[in-house]
Amino acid sequence: MRDCRNCHRIGHVPTDILYSPDATETKSGVCVDCHAKPFNTMYESKSEHRYIECVECHPVHDAIVACDVCHTMDPSHGTECGACHDSAHDTII
């Protein structure tokens, strides 16, 4: 069980997570304390995503960027990446 103080260092006030406009300055280590499972799944996979920082796809807390922001979509494959790729955290691309 996670310690409440991981996110609530002062009573019931959540810790602010500051994101840099330059994604290379906000390292994935900021995320791994609370999001170890997706981080480890991605890191241990053969996905090319494992070489980028979390904020490349999650520019703000709880946000998920659509795959087509970075990836060119072949219309013949449809628009649902998840139909063939299980998860961005463990997909071989």
91 lies in some domain: no
Residue type, 72: T
Inter-CA distances, 71 with 7, 78, 81, 88, Å:
33, 13, 10, 12
Answer whether residue 79 is part of any domain.
yes
Q: Say what percent of the chain tops pLDDT 90.
A: 0
CA gap 23, 21 in Å, rounded: 6
Has residue 89 been placed in a domain? no
State the total domains in the chain.
1
What's the pLDDT tens digit per position in 12-32?
666 666 666 565 566 787 788
Query: Is 21 part of a structural domain of the chain?
Result: yes
Q: Global pTM?
A: 0.61
